[in-house]
Structure formats: C-alpha cells, structure tokens
Amino acid sequence: MNLGTLDRRAAVATLLKDRGDLLVVTGLGSPSYDCFAAGDDPLNYYLWAAMGSACTVGFGLAMTQRERPVLVVTGDGEMLMGLGAIASIAQKRPPNLTIAVIDNGHYGETGMQLSHSGRGIELSRIAGACDFPWSGAITDMAGVEALRGRIHAKSGTAFATIKVGSDELPRALPSRDGVAIKNRFRAALGLQTI
Amino acid sequence: MLFRDGGTFRYLMASRRAIGARGSDEGEGTTRMTETEDTIRDWRHEVLPILKSFDVKHVVYVPDAGHAVAIRTAEQDNDLVTLALTTEEEGIGYLAGCWLGGERGALLMQSSGVGNCINTLALQTMTRFPLLMLVTMRGDWAEFNPWQNPMGQATEASLKLMGVRTWRADRGEDVGPLLRGAATMAFNGDEACALLLGQRLIGEKKWVK
C-alpha cells in the first residue's frame, strides 16, 4: 500500500502561501476544491472535466509564461488518465513547471475506490524514469515547504506526489463558468478576452 | 509480396503507409518521399506559412505523413515551439494552456486521433479558446487498411457532435483558402475549427510519381 496521512487542505495551503506571481492549474475534483479553499485567485485555472488535462494545460502555460512559476495541482486519478503527458513534458522540461499530485490513493469523487496509486504504483517514479530534474514522494509538511521553495526557484521541472489522507472534506466549489475563469485569468495577465 | 504484381511505386507507397499507420518515416519509401516533398511545391508547403501568418507560435502534433513537410519546417523554425504528443488529446490541453498564457497554436493529427480527443474537447466547449486542428484523413478514400475505416468514416461526424466546425479539402488548391478560413474563425471567435485533409489529396501526390 502507498497511502499517506497529510492533511490535503493544509498541504495545498502551504504550497500556495505567499504565492507572488504563481500561476495555478487545478485538476477536476478535490484538488480544485483544495485550491479554492486556500483562497480564490484570478490566476487559478480550475478544471471541472477533460480528465487527464491538468498537466497538459499547465505545460502549455509554462511554455508560454516562461518567467512565471506554474503549478499544476491535481489528483492521482486525474494524473493516471494522462500519464503520457509526463513523457511529452519530459521532452521540453520547462524549468518553471511543477506538478503536485495530491495523492490519496483513491478516486474520491466516485466512492473512494482504490486507485492504481493506492495499489502501490508510485507516480513520481514514472516522472523520474522520464528524467524530470526533480521527482519524489512527499510524506511530511517539511517536504511540502521544500516543494514550495522549489516551485518559486523555477530551477527545473519538478514532479511530486504529496501523500495525503483519504478523509472526505467539506467541498469548496469554485466557479464552474469556464469562460469566466479563463477570461479572468487572461485579464490578470493583461491579455484580451479574444 | 502482395504488391509486387503492381510493380509500381504507388502500390509500394500505399502499403508502406498503411502498415505504418501514423506515417513513420523509414525505409526505401522515405527517400523517395523526401525527394518529392523537397522538389515539388504544393499545398504541403502552404500550411506552415499560413499558420505563421496567423501568429501561431506552437505547432503540436501526432505525426502523419501528410503533415511531414509542415512538421519538418516547423522544427527548423526558431520562432516556433514544436511538440510531439503521445496522444492527440494532450494537444487540446497544451493549446488551452498556451492560450491562457497569451499565445496561439495549432494541432496536427490524423483522423484516427480524433477519436482520442472526444471527451477532452469539452475543455474547448466549456472555456472557449481558439483550437485549430489539421486532420489528415485515413479510411476515407482508397484505403488499404480496413482497420482505419471505422474511425475515418466517423471523424467529421464526431467532431461536429462535439461542437467543432469542420471543412474538408480534397484538392490542393482548396487547402490554403480553407485553412485561412478555419484559422480566421478559430482565432477571431474562440472557436474549435478543424480542416480535414482528404486522403485523395494526399494520395494524389504520394501515389503518382
């Protein structure tokens, strides 16, 4: 088994603390709620579907806004649906991109079925096999703090699994208006809506 | 070999392309293909200049022989980011991210990959960002490999079901105007627009020496 004990809301709040110019993309389900619970921000881009796309959206953003740190916060199930993206990202390795998988080893939205991660597949080792400059599993808050430092250092593509508990927390729901969220994000970067 | 009786380059090419369903460049056929691509200027050479005229900065693809010229020239262009994808839906997310960050791109793929994109197209529908897709067709005309036919025949309908605007080019002279039209509507309207490049269009060049 591969299950963690960290409080996911505390871990995500730590990652997003004093966020500065950080751009955030969130995977559908609990990671979106965690980021919203830590404080809504125009530079949060919440996904509500397109499962498997959190990493690729963050990747495109990191390849475009190269001076800013970009953080993808997603779940183990969402990441599993887009595993090939790890190989695609590894071809470019934008140094400003960090992927944080909030890994509870379960599909939390659908009844807490065990995920592959919960059955022992360590996702960060896949990123390691793809030669990400940094990859690892984080099991304590000191590790989360260190990852926060790594995000802002922009010193190499990083991939972390953060081993959290599988408690069901109160939902904190961001807007489901994807157009509004997109336009708000672009406006905060000084971009036109179309 | 099955194709020997044809005794012609055109049959050889047909079999090679059918076996390498995603248009891998290898073997005897490649040398000939490359010579042809480099010496005959046709619609293949129009694609990238048109994309650049729309300020496309990111060219992302799952390769196909029909896109080979655009991919190769894009990779030689320092003003462009080119990216190979493991599967086509990665391109939708990637280009959504590029647009969030203020840059434009295009997705080059084969019709079989449209099936891979269906659920991910919701990202475009719900957030509305310009998504320009160039889709080379298989299972469409004179297809050697019948396994390509189910998705090839469902490609345009699948795109339309997910809200993608589609145009289809079967003649070389139509590619430029249709691509400019699709790009205009994608980038001026935050729409998903796909140009289908018919197998006949590709076949005309590759199979007739």
Distance CA A180, CA A78 (A): 23
Q: In angstroms, what separates the C-alpha of B197 from chain A's closest C-alpha?
A: 25
The per-residue b/e assignment along B115-146, b for 16 or more CB within 10 angstroms, e otherwise, is: ebbebbbbbbebbbbbbbbbbbbbbbeebeee
Backbone phi and psi for residue B105, each to the nearest 5 degrees, phi listed first: -150, 180
Q: pLDDT-derived band of residue A194, with 50, 70 and 90 as boundaries? A: confident
Range of the domain at A153: 8-187
User: What domain count does chain B have?
Assistant: 1
A116 has pLDDT over 60: yes
**Do B89 and A52 count as a contact with CB atoms less than 8 A apart?**
yes
SS3 per residue for A108-156: HHHCCEECCCCCCCCHHHHHHHCCCCEEEEECCHHHHHHHHHHHHHCCC
Residues 6+ apart with CB under 8 A from B126: A48, A49, A178, A179
Collect all residues of chain A within an 8 Å Cβ-Cβ radius of residue B95: 60
**Rounded alpha-carbon distances, angstroms, from residue A12 to A30, B17, B85, B165:** 11, 49, 29, 39
The mean pLDDT of A169-188, rounded to a whole number, is: 95
A109 has pLDDT over 90: no
Q: Are A99 and A160 in contact (CB under 8 A)?
A: yes
β-pair partners for B193:
B132, B165
Find which of A56, A78, A183 to mutate to test the B interface (most B CBs within 10 Å of its CB). A56
SS3 per residue for B54-99: CCEEEEEECCCHHHHHHHHHHHCCCCCEEEECCCCHHHHHHHHHHH
Domain assignment of residue A1, yes or no = no
Q: In angstroms, what separates the C-alpha of A17 from chain B's closest C-alpha?
A: 22
The mean pLDDT of A177-186, rounded to a whole number, is: 97
Terminus-to-terminus CA distance in chain A, angstroms? 48
Instruction: Answer whether A65 touches B (CB < 8 Å).
Output: yes
Q: pLDDT-derived band of residue A101, with 50, 70 and 90 as boundaries? A: very high
Question: Which of B93, B100, B119 comes nearest A186 by C-beta?
Answer: B100
The mean pLDDT of A84-112, rounded to a whole number, is: 96
Q: pLDDT-derived band of residue A34, with 50, 70 and 90 as boundaries? A: very high
Distance CA B133, CA B162 (A): 13
Instruction: Answer whether A87 touches B (CB < 8 Å).
Output: yes
User: What domain count does chain A have?
Assistant: 1
Give the pLDDT of residue B18. Answer: 39
Give the pLDDT of residue B202. Answer: 80
Distance CA A120, CA B164 (A): 40
A163 has pLDDT over 80: yes
Domain assignment of residue A192, yes or no = no
Give the pLDDT of residue A167. Answer: 87
Half-sphere exposure at residue A89, Cβ-oriented, CA atoms within 13 angstroms: 36
A189 has pLDDT over 70: yes
Residues 6+ apart with CB under 8 A from B204: B172
A23 has pLDDT over 80: yes
Distance CA B13, CA B18 (A): 8
How, if at all, do strands A97-103 and B165-169 pair? unpaired
Q: Which CATH number does the domain housing residue A171 bear? A: 3.40.50.970
Please indicate whether residue A194 or residue B4 has the higher confidence score (pLDDT).
A194
Domain assignment of residue A79, yes or no = yes
Give the pLDDT of residue B11. Answer: 34
pLDDT in tens, A73-92: 999 999 999 999 999 999 99
Give the pLDDT of residue B41. Answer: 79
Q: Are B81 and B58 in contact (CB under 8 A)?
A: yes
Low-confidence ranges of chain B (pLDDT < 70): 1-40, 204-209
A161 has pLDDT over 70: yes
Range of the domain at B13: 4-207
Tokens (6 digits) for B136: 């080379």
Give the pLDDT of residue A30. Answer: 95
Per the prediction, chain A carries an average pLDDT of: 96
* Helix residue ranges per DSSP H, chain A: 8-15, 30-37, 54-64, 76-81, 84-92, 123-129, 141-153, 178-188
Instruction: Answer whether A45 touches B (CB < 8 Å).
Output: yes
pTM exceeding 0.80: yes
A29 has pLDDT over 70: yes
Q: pLDDT-derived band of residue A168, with 50, 70 and 90 as boundaries? A: confident
Q: Which CATH number does the domain housing residue B55 bear? A: 3.40.50.970
Chain B residues within 8 Å of chain A (Cβ atoms): 57-58, 81, 83-87, 89-103, 105, 119-120, 122-123, 126-129, 188-190
Give the pLDDT of residue B39. Answer: 58
Half-sphere exposure at residue A44, Cβ-oriented, CA atoms within 13 angstroms: 27
Tokens (6 digits) for A134: 């940094």
pLDDT in tens, B21-76: 444 444 444 444 454 555 567 999 999 999 999 999 999 999 999 999 999 999 99
Find which of B94, B162, B191 to mutate to test the A interface (most A CBs within 10 Å of its CB). B94
